[in-house]
Amino acid sequence: MMSDSASTGARELLYFEDLQVGRRFSSRTHQLDEAQILAFAGQFDPQPFHLDAEAAKRTFFQGLAASGWHTAAISMRLLVESAPIAGGVIGAGAEINWPKPTRPGAILHLESEVIELRPLRTRPDRGMVTMRSETINQAREIVQVLVSKLVVPRKVVPSE
């Protein structure tokens, strides 16, 4: 099984034909702190459990937690950096789950794997790649599972 890593330095761009089911990508880590959590929540998800460590204790989360959309946004950055897809990482849609809260101090990284490759009959110049990405914290807990449908260009457009 091949693996790419941000640390290899190699950034050969990958087209649809270059990808196989099982191909994996590992990201660098991102350390989350309370200031980042409060800044994102203040702008996009202003709820007590994302904004106020003291008030958060008396909520569902029992303490400060990052907005799920903040975890998603950080994960996108890690995906963009770790998966060198030609044309960029372009999602048509995704399923997202947050099995555990992301806490201040979390050190996150992303492990991604290609789980499906589908040529597009209507658009022979591109294919649809399904990527499953786990966002994992320093305790090896999965805090987010993202299954995204990515639009990836073909190197060679098949003739009719």
Interacting residues toward its own copies by CB under 8 A: 40, 43-49, 59-61, 67-70, 72-74, 76-77, 80, 87-98, 151
CB of 1 to its own copies, least distance (A): 27
> Distance between CA atoms of 20 and 24, rounded to whole angstroms?
9
Helix (H) or strand (E) holding 4: strand 3-5
> Distance between CA atoms of 44 and 25, rounded to whole angstroms?
29
DSSP class of residue 21 equals: T
1 or 12: whose CB is closer to its own copies? 12
CB of 110 to its own copies, least distance (A): 13
**Burial (CB count <10 Å: 0-12, 13-18, 19+), residue 99:** exposed
33 or 95: whose CB is closer to its own copies? 95
CB of 116 to its own copies, least distance (A): 16
23 or 126: whose CB is closer to its own copies? 126
